[in-house]
Structure 1
Amino acid sequence: MDVLYNVVQYILGFGAAVFVPLIMLIIGMICKMKFSDAFLAALTLGIGFTGMNVLINFMTGAITPAAQGLATATGISLPAVDVGWPALSAIAWAWPYGTLCFPLLIVINIIMLKAKLTNVLNVDLWNCWTKLCTCVITYYLCVSVGFPDGTAVILGFVAASIQIVLELKIGDAIQPTIQKVTGIPGVTVPHALMLSCAMILPFEKLLEKVPAIENNHVDAKWLRDKIGIFGENCVMGFIIGTVLGAVAYRDPQKALTLGIQAGTAMQLFPTVSKLFMQALAPISDAVGSFMKQRFQGRELIIGLDWPIVAGSDELWVSMILLIPFELIWAFILAPVGNVVLPFAGIVNICLGPCLLMLSGGNLIKMLIEGIIVTPVYLLASSSFAPYLTELARTYSPDSLAGVGNNAMITWSTLETPDFRWSIANALSGHPSGIVALIVWLALFVWMLKEFKKRNAELKAEQQA
């Protein structure tokens, strides 16, 4: 176990910006790409990941003080500290059995490929921690209600295995939509955050029945055409940032500075995202040719992290516009269980891609659906806060650095909160969790059928 732990930790130590490009370089060479082409594509991919992380950290760092200022101004006490995904990842990997999730992901993917249950080869192994996070939360909930430790460990890995399977299935389902959004064939996003499409689907279907919304596709281009300069990404970012800064700081200098920072991020996000298309297009072509030669009638889809869809203007516009609503919901929900104010997760990158996949980039739908489901993220992360805090104290005390003795930790926009809460509570024997999981799985099946219908329509459009 120690050897496996050291190997996995060494690999993960490279980070996504090195690990994923390295895997893509190997795949490119296997598929007979010239080394120079494969290396350049892999390097560009690494630059894309690094640039995206720099911008997200820049945006979060700019807005977090404003959110803290709002909390001070309102006087509302929200005792859980939003530490974001890095702390949760550290807690998950510090769990003694955590390294077993790495081979589990690979084995399940291979079995499903061999059995033709998926066409997705998930090379985003760095994000194995998202499965492990579900595993650890389920384990702790099971232990907390009296399950023997061994049984709790098994149930934790059952939860992780189910998530792995579901991610591969949704990766298959959304691939044509990913291709339409990015222009890159043969890639998809088998990521935990995409599972929340199941939660959003009912609201999408309801909005489809509203002619004023469904028949008027309001996207970023429409905004630019109709409202001119105010539809530009940088201008919208500047306005939202300035207004938020004015309310939080009551200082024109700080408000305008935040406006410029938000406008900068909004302008650069799509620019950096183009690097993913530039990097992945040649590798995707090589993989497609390789598979056609060796597997007649079989299509292999490369599974990657969510930033490959980040070139969509609508993605960033919706996430910026949702920031004020996240803060409002945090205050409104405080009396009914919310204990966290969004800081590290204030730019909800776990929700935006789902909204994009289902709405097709209709900003009105994305905003309405985002407002509706944001409370799920806040309340689920709040419910997990006591368990995550105890897990941190037990396995990863460094995650509590800078957190007060009486404070809890969580991630305000914890990815796939609907699935995680349902599976963890169901496997730990809570009746509400069992009901929620049954409902969620029914929604997931409905979602797969919906995407199957959409994919057939997309295919017909392409052939017309």
Structure 2
Amino acid sequence: MNGVVEGLQSFLALGPTVILPVAIFLIGVAFGQSVGKAFRSGLIIGVAFVGIFLVVDLLVSNLGPAANAMVERFGIQLNVIDVGWPGSASMAWASPIAAFIIPVALLVNILMLITKTTKTMNVDIWNFWHFTFTGAMVYTISGSIFQGILAAVIFQIICLKIADWTAPMLRDYFDLPGISIATGSTVAYAPLGIPLVKLVQKIPGVKNWNADPETIQKRFGVFGESIFMGLILGIGLGLLAGYPIGQVIQTGMAMAGVMVLMPRMVKILMEGLTPVSESARAFLSKRFGDRDIYIGLDAAVAIGHPSVISTALILVPITVALAVILPGNAVLPFGDLATIPFIVAFIVGAARGNIVHSVIVGTIMIALTLYMATDLAQIQTQMAIDGHFKMPEGTNLVSSLDQAGNMINYVVYKFFAIFN
């Protein structure tokens, strides 16, 4: 079993820039593309994700330290440390159930496609760690591999159904036709976040508060373009972090770069994905009649929209403030502050880019996330101990906004906790 887990971890260590092109190549061939065309599609998608993750790294490497500097600057002391998604993922893959999740998840996805219970073919294998985390959490309290796998499958099915539901939003607002997102850290905010957006947009007065990139650009001209929005918000974040002026400007330039570069990387992605999507539709139409098929990709393809980045940058200091003022919260936001763009992507899409409405709903959702992460801190800490995770110095309790604060994970875990 250890050999299987080690082999799995080695495969996953290759990262999405290798795993996704291989998956796309195999899918293209399976759906009737020539080997040459399928290889080209996979290669272009791999190159696109190299670019996307370079830009994501630019975002995270600037946003994360600035957010953490803000926490330290204001001297916030809470007794549960948010270890972020990297820590949570390593705990998930260290679980005894990890070796089973990828083959089981792929089988479940295929069965759901055959039975027409999903339209999403999820090739985002790296992010199966979200399913694994839920399964590992249930395994920790039950000691049952069967219960752990069942919990992971339930999480997966919910993610696939939400991916189907939100795919039209990706097409219409994010200009990503034929794509869906089943990434656990993003879809978890849809079931409550989208209805809350609709509610906010019906509140008298509030419904008229509009600040989407198009409106901002009309009002401020060239200074309302996304590149300037990134610069201004990045500078604001640097100032809150207490950076010297040079570093403040560097942070602003980095955020301006993210605003401009990410949409261009996504265009390259679509160049590679479109032929595969067309082949998949043609193949399925011949055998199952006319039906939509979505390719499930990493949520990184959606976070480059200017409204998503703008909303996330505004929510970073709000998240830190919420951690201090919310009664009963014990989690110090840290590792996952840089993943807020992933958290708010569907909220922003539902709000049609209205940054004001997105921030209002995002604030509510992050408040709930902090409470859930606080409640599950003990069980995630036990997972860390069982997986020999190196705890942050001076820390007795760990949690994460990404997964312990994930609403789907929370509900699935609480269901299984009733019986254990």
TM, length-normalised to structure 2? 0.90
**Kindly tell me: are residues 280 and 161 of structure 1, through their superposed partners in 2, closer, same or farther at Cα, counting changes over 3 Å?**
same
Tell me if structure 1 keeps the 8 A contact 2:233–2:310: no
CA shift for structure 1 position 260: 2.3
Q: Does 1:219 align with 2:198?
A: no
CA shift for structure 1 position 217: 5.9
Tell me if structure 2 keeps the 8 A contact 1:345–1:413: no
Aligned to 1:249: 242
CA shift for structure 1 position 428: 0.7
CA shift for structure 1 position 8: 2.9
In the alignment, the residues of structure 2 paired with residue 131 and residue 165 of structure 1 have an alpha-carbon distance, to the nearest angstrom, of 10
Q: Does 1:264 align with 2:253?
A: no
CA shift for structure 1 position 184: 4.0
Residues 175-207 of structure 1 deviation map (CA, whole Å, 9 limit, x = unaligned): 222222344433211232213211213322312
In the alignment, the residues of structure 2 paired with residue 342 and residue 270 of structure 1 have an alpha-carbon distance, to the nearest angstrom, of 27
Which of these residues, 173, 176, 190, is aligned with residue 181 of structure 1?
173
CA shift for structure 1 position 49: 2.0
In the alignment, the residues of structure 2 paired with residue 14 and residue 196 of structure 1 have an alpha-carbon distance, to the nearest angstrom, of 28
> What letter corresponds to residue 326 of structure 1 in structure 2?
T
Unpaired segments ≥5 residues, structure 1: 144-148, 432-464
Tell me if structure 2 keeps the 8 A contact 1:377–1:414: no
> What letter corresponds to residue 168 of structure 2 in structure 1?
P
Q: Does 1:154 align with 2:174?
A: no
> What letter corresponds to residue 274 of structure 1 in structure 2?
K
Identity %: 26
Tell me if structure 2 keeps the 8 A contact 1:186–1:288: no
SS in structure 2 of the partner of residue 188 of structure 1: strand
SS in structure 1 of the partner of residue 282 of structure 2: helix
Tell me if structure 2 keeps the 8 A contact 1:124–1:305: yes
Which of these residues, 337, 362, 383, is aligned with residue 345 of structure 1?
337
Aligned to 1:436: none
Tell me if structure 2 keeps the 8 A contact 1:78–1:341: no
Aligned ranges 1:350-361 → 2 under 5 Å? 350-361=342-353
Aligned to 2:272: 279
Aligned to 1:197: 190
Residues 18-38 of structure 1 deviation map (CA, whole Å, 9 limit, x = unaligned): 101111011112233343433
Where do 4+ consecutive residues of structure 1 move more than 6 Å? none
Tell me if structure 2 keeps the 8 A contact 1:183–1:277: no
> What letter corresponds to residue 361 of structure 1 in structure 2?
G
CA shift for structure 1 position 254: 2.8
> What letter corresponds to residue 425 of structure 1 in structure 2?
K
In the alignment, the residues of structure 1 paired with residue 206 and residue 35 of structure 2 have an alpha-carbon distance, to the nearest angstrom, of 49
TM, length-normalised to structure 1? 0.82
Count of aligned pairs between the two proteins: 419
Tell me if structure 2 keeps the 8 A contact 1:181–1:312: no
Aligned to 2:233: 240
**Kindly tell me: are residues 396 and 345 of structure 1, through their superposed partners in 2, closer, same or farther at Cα, counting changes over 3 Å?**
farther
Aligned to 1:376: 368
Greater mean deviation of Cα atoms: 313-322 or 181-190: 181-190
Tell me if structure 2 keeps the 8 A contact 1:172–1:188: yes
Tell me if structure 1 keeps the 8 A contact 2:212–2:353: yes
In the alignment, the residues of structure 1 paired with residue 307 and residue 247 of structure 2 have an alpha-carbon distance, to the nearest angstrom, of 27
Aligned CA-pair RMSD: 2.6
Aligned to 2:118: 118
In the alignment, the residues of structure 2 paired with residue 30 and residue 207 of structure 1 have an alpha-carbon distance, to the nearest angstrom, of 45
> What letter corresponds to residue 330 of structure 1 in structure 2?
A
**Kindly tell me: are residues 257 and 5 of structure 1, through their superposed partners in 2, closer, same or farther at Cα, counting changes over 3 Å?**
closer
In the alignment, the residues of structure 2 paired with residue 308 and residue 65 of structure 1 have an alpha-carbon distance, to the nearest angstrom, of 23
In the alignment, the residues of structure 2 paired with residue 123 and residue 247 of structure 1 have an alpha-carbon distance, to the nearest angstrom, of 39
In the alignment, the residues of structure 2 paired with residue 247 and residue 4 of structure 1 have an alpha-carbon distance, to the nearest angstrom, of 46
CA shift for structure 1 position 277: 1.7
SS in structure 2 of the partner of residue 302 of structure 1: strand
Which of these residues, 306, 309, 317, is aligned with residue 313 of structure 1?
306
